[in-house]
Amino acid sequence: MANRLTTTPSTTSKTSSPTSTPTAGTLGACLASKNVPIRLTSSPDFSQLAKPYNLRLSYTPAVIVLPETTQHISDAVTCAAKSNVKVQPRGGGHSYAAFGLGGQSGSMIIDLQNFQTVTLDSSNIAKVGGGVRLGNLAQAIYNQAQRALPHGTCPGVGVGGHATHGGYGYSSRAWGLALDTIVGLDVVLANGSYIYTTSTAYPDIYYALRGAADSFGIITAFYLQTVPAPSTVINWSFSIPNMFSSAATSAAALMHIQAFAQNASVVDRKLGMGMYMDGYGFSISGTYFGSLADFNAKIKPELLRTLPPPTASTATSMTWLQSLTALANGQPLQQPTTGYDQHDSFFAKSLVVPSSSPLTLATWTAYFDHMIRNGVNAANPWFSIINLYGGPDSQINAKPVSFSAYSDRSALWVIQHYGFTGNTAAPFPAAIIPFVQGLSNSITNAQPGTVFSGYSNYVDPTLTPQQAHAAYYDAATYSRLVGIKERVDPGK
């Protein structure tokens, strides 16, 4: 999760470091008087609960709240406000910047691990607790009624940050982002009140929560409009050789792939697609909501035309849950509701390429030149993922910018650059950061006339607040959010 509305990562109450620990100060007394379940630094499970997903960034909370009811959250928020302590909700805890721990030490963390409800009503709207992880969500709605939602491929990611800052998956070109499926929200506001918000009930708050949630409240339950799960899905992948020998050759290949992605005679919403590269291998993969025969007759030959023959090639018809499991990189869909212990140590950046300014041959050349010179046989592992958001018939881009506080409704590509240690117990090598930044800079420097943006679920903590505002929100959206913030949480 990420926030660009204040000078700190995210806030539901005024931000500052506590002047005393909860055990000695008024915060602890306030929480105790209301019987709010908490963990302090002296608690046996505090270290595990305070462990970030990104081990490069470690913060120590003043207190971790483990609410069992909405009233517990309301009371905790009220107590924090009285003690001038920053509040941060935590769903799955996968924030790239450790914003789930407040992005600083001394915050109150409200851990939603007890909010695990997943139920479907007669309209096939799923009520989903704020602590549910994506794999458990997918499994539950399929088991209950063979329903599905668009979302990412990592089953351990929490629905909270994922759905409120976008929420892309291969099915998003067909069904939209996870955020687009939100039809209602149960939320605790900064003053401790809790409401149910929709497009007609508290519409400004509903707008703000879908794109900037953790600046406005703590979502205890999502109401998501599901779709029928497809009976079959084509999972496909092609490994393309010799992509790190010549920048010119690789750039030409990417120009073909980009042209394919924009070809309305071949591509429609049924195709989900992304590219993966790491200095050793290059692959194109995705899903297709059509028949295997159609994929092999139409998609495959046009995509591979002019590319080197793949060294590995798959296109397999699967059930919906088989498809999700195959995309989960070896992880089971069913994830633990407590004791989750997946971690990495990394630095990442993102770039959103607008449909109006596709990357040029010179830009792709500069990009691969940086990879080949600095990323082949690199001392530290890295990868780049380039996902297709736009292209013909994309349902991500079918929504107007005014639909929500998520601004990127005209993207062609969303690029993630990610450098990591490979050994989470080892110190984080400083050289990773400039290499990853160089990947992004090779694109932006080669195309200075293009206005690139960023994807806030791949949030970059090295950005200043002003840079983050510009990267993750367009000017009109940011201005509207500031106005809503002043009305619902004055002075914060």
Q: Give 465-469's long-range contacts (Cβ < 8 A, gap of 24+).
A: 465/4, 465/6, 465/7, 468/2, 468/4, 469/4, 469/5
Q: How far apart are CA 109 and CA 66, in angstroms?
A: 9
pLDDT, tens digit (0-9, with 9 covering 90-100), for 217-230? 999 999 999 999 99
pLDDT band at 268 (very low <50, low <70, confident <90, very high): very high
Q: Tell me what pLDDT residue 1 has.
A: 33
Q: Tell me what pLDDT residue 489 has.
A: 87
Torsion of CA 134, 188, 166, 276, to 10 degrees: -50
Token code pair at residue 293: 């025969």
The least confident of 22-36, 122-136, 355-369 is 22-36
The sign of the dihedral angle between the CA atoms of 420, 425, 428, 429 is negative
Q: With a threshold of 0.85, does the pTM exceed it?
A: yes
Instruction: Give the residue-averaged pLDDT of 443-459.
Output: 98
Q: Tell me what pLDDT residue 491 has.
A: 75
Q: Are 118 and 132 in contact (CB under 8 A)?
A: yes
Q: How far apart are CA 359 and CA 412, in angstroms?
A: 10
Q: How far apart are CA 63 and CA 176, in angstroms?
A: 37
Q: What is the DSSP letter of 192?
A: S
Instruction: Give the residue-averaged pLDDT of 402-408.
Output: 97
Q: Are 148 and 367 in contact (CB under 8 A)?
A: no
Instruction: Give the residue-averaged pLDDT of 461-481.
Output: 96
Token code pair at residue 126: 């799923």
Percentage of the chain with pLDDT > 70?
95
